[in-house]
A and B are shown apart, each in its own frame.
Chain A
């Protein structure tokens, strides 16, 4: 599954708590990204493991990794090892569900997160594709292909003419370069999801402006979780000890 070409610091990294880049670090990153997509403190979570993860999650600490990510803890943070204790302190209720039979088309290392916070709900499916790298393949029924290497705006909008142009021109005015843009529709319905991946971190304050555009229903910013120099500054913790 050749993805977007990797950089040096994708292969030499991440700095992480062992023992598995795919079953520990990758899972933590998927959960961390899911927390950004939910855009709220997670209150309830069902964590389903598929494929290799369903069989080996215990020994890899994949449960601790997923919980850590949901709490906003990155793979290199030593608090990952005792995330279940932190979860009970922070009022996160979770269940772990290993599913031995994968639906067709699922990557051999897949995690599905069903999250709730107040009225907000999120269904997110991610694959841990090796070396800590991830691919978010489904968000609330929209097929996606987010790898977390760049900041991304998820723009939920009415499926009508011109929304993409409005978003693109707003970003252009602020001189933000769009690295990748993809539009996704559910099977039926009138809503569409626009995924806008942008270079650098200059666009981080722009979610509100995008939300104000005609036809836009909701916007969240999913900050890059890439390693090292590729990503912008906060909120990542990587490289802090340099």
Chain B
């Protein structure tokens, strides 16, 4: 079997030729590369899905507080608030869950990078919220749930192949932006959209993160990272909604990734995880830096 692909177009073609679908093809590919049975790959997927849940539960069970004081229980506050304008259970949960996982990360807890630690709340936040709200029969062991995480990973693989997943190399579009695109594809998969539409949802999402700066205050993965996880969960849900309605991205996914790379290269070093520009360089941002030194 030819496991190689350089673009979404190629991946979709190979997945469809194989008859396995995108998630099944990639599980088989991981197994072939590792020289192990597919069950082992699925077992590891289940382990990581469960680990993401533990982080989520930890973040909601008690207010998370970081040493810097910049992270202080936003997830618990949001989850217990009844004042939000949107009363949909899935949407509200997705925001709180994404926050919860990323607060645990900011506080040095155990998480699963997806694709990075600073963006680790977005995919699990959206997918676990869907499960809790709309599909309680799913769990780490269910194939459909694993396939959704695999679809999200697929988008990450494609972005890494043609651009980057590092904020220091491409700005935050490469981290929280990539995670939003991944979550859009994963949610599409849970909603039963065909593979092509899932990738299109990722394109719609990523287009709306292009140019995002990585300008963390005081060099910490907290501001704006933690709250951005909630905002990007909303982005992913918007993208999956459009894709489900049959709205296509005018620019195909592979070209959006090309644009992302070009924009990442053009971003100055001050906006690529050096904490020398943007929010980090604001008077308040600098005052945190001084306080924490």
Contacts and interface: CB of A to CB of B under 8 A. Distances in A.
A218 interface: no
Interface in A51-90: 51-52, 55-61, 76, 78, 81
B112 A16 contact: yes
- The prevalent SS among residues of B at the interface is helix
B162 A56 contact: no
A132 B120 CA distance: 12
Interface stretch (A18-26, A38-46, A112-120, A163-171): A18-26
B18 to A, nearest CB: 15
Contacts of A23: 221
Interface residues of B, number: 68
Interface string A8-32: 1111111111111111110000000
B51 A19 contact: no
A109 interface: yes
A17 B269 CA distance: 27
A228 B273 contact: no
Interface stretch (B38-46, B87-95, B192-200, B245-253): B38-46
A199 interface: yes
Given A8-B45, A52-B273, A199-B35, A18 B164 contact: no
A8 B150 contact: yes
A55 B274 CA distance: 6
Given A52-B168, A109-B168, A229-B34, A19 B272 contact: no
A219 interface: no
Contacts of B106: 18-19
Interface in B110-129: 110-118, 120
B116 A242 contact: no
B30 A7 contact: yes
A215 interface: no
A20 B161 contact: no
A158 interface: no
Most chain B CB within a 10 A radius of its CB, from A9, A61, A231, A239: A9
Contacts of A78: 110
Contact of A242 (B43, B104, B216, B272): B43
B276 A129 contact: no
Contacts of A242: 43-44, 46-47
Contacts of B236: none
Nearest to B114: A12
Interface string B128-154: 000000000000000000000110111
A51 B4 contact: no
A16 B111 contact: yes
What are the 9 tightest A-B residue pairs by CB atom distance, in nearest-first order? A130-B166, A56-B219, A18-B105, A11-B156, A228-B44, A59-B220, A19-B221, A21-B113, A59-B219
Interface of B: 4-5, 26-27, 29-31, 33-36, 40-41, 43-48, 51, 68, 104-118, 120, 149-150, 152-154, 156-157, 160-162, 164-169, 174, 182, 216, 218-222, 269, 272-276, 292
Interface of A: 1-3, 5-25, 51-52, 55-61, 76, 78, 81, 107-109, 128-133, 199-200, 227-231, 239, 241-242
